[in-house]
Amino acid sequence: MKKKLVFLLAAIAATMFISACSNDEDNNEMDAVQTVSDIQTNVVTGEWMISSYIDSGVDETSDYAGFTFTFNGDGVVSASSSAEMLTGAWSVEMDSSMDDSSDSDVDFTLFFGVPDTHDFDDLSDDWDVVSYTATMLSLRDVSGGSGEIDTLVFTRK
């Protein structure tokens, strides 16, 4: 009888543990969906600037000084300065990559199809969302081959 009771208690504990893990995954997915929606709603409001861009340990923020970024609801992003205007595409979605080494469940993708003479090709990537507020969006990317980390921070103007 004692062995049956111990077995029963162990089975109940295992079931509760498995259920808790399953609920955590469901909650993480629901949180990611909410994050995607929040970011999509937030970035289309107002103008943004790059307040920090670190490319493999090198601060390249000054390359984007004077540029104002506008994220439109149709997935178009524009970067304008007094001298030029560039357009690209943006999206935010749940991370579907199975080989992504980050803990982020949300990707913020930027694409600027400009010649390599511009620094905007460096921004074209699927960035992991690190954090966000109403006035800030912090992103990071782990370089494929070298594993170096790039960080990009947008701040509302």
Q: Where are the beta strands (DSSP E) in the chain?
A: 48-55, 58-59, 68-71, 76-80, 85-94, 106-111, 125-132, 136-142, 149-156
Full-prediction pTM beyond 0.85? no
Does 98 fall in a domain? yes
pLDDT top residue among 11 and 59? 59
Structural domain including 121 reads: 37-156
Q: How many domains does the chain have?
A: 1
Does 54 fall in a domain? yes
- What one-character-per-residue DSSP string does 99-112 give? S--SS-SEEEEEE-
Q: Position 23: which residue type?
A: N
- Lowest-confidence pick of 75-79, 98-102, 146-150: 98-102
Tens-place pLDDT, residues 97-143: 644 455 568 999 999 987 665 689 889 999 999 999 999 999 999 87
Taking CA atoms, 7 is separated from 11, 14, 21, 57, in Å, by 6, 10, 21, 55
Does 148 fall in a domain? yes
Mean pLDDT of 10-21: 41
21 pLDDT more than 60: no
Does 140 fall in a domain? yes
Does 24 fall in a domain? no
Torsion of CA 103, 105, 107, 108, to 10 degrees: -100
Neighbours of 153 (CB within 10 A): 19
Residue 145: give its domain's CATH number: 2.40.128.270
Does 50 fall in a domain? yes
Does 18 fall in a domain? no
Does 137 fall in a domain? yes
Phi and psi angles of residue 122, each rounded to the nearest 5 degrees, phi first: -65, -25
SS (H, E, C) 60-90: CHHHHCCCEEEECCCCEEEEECCCCEEEEEE
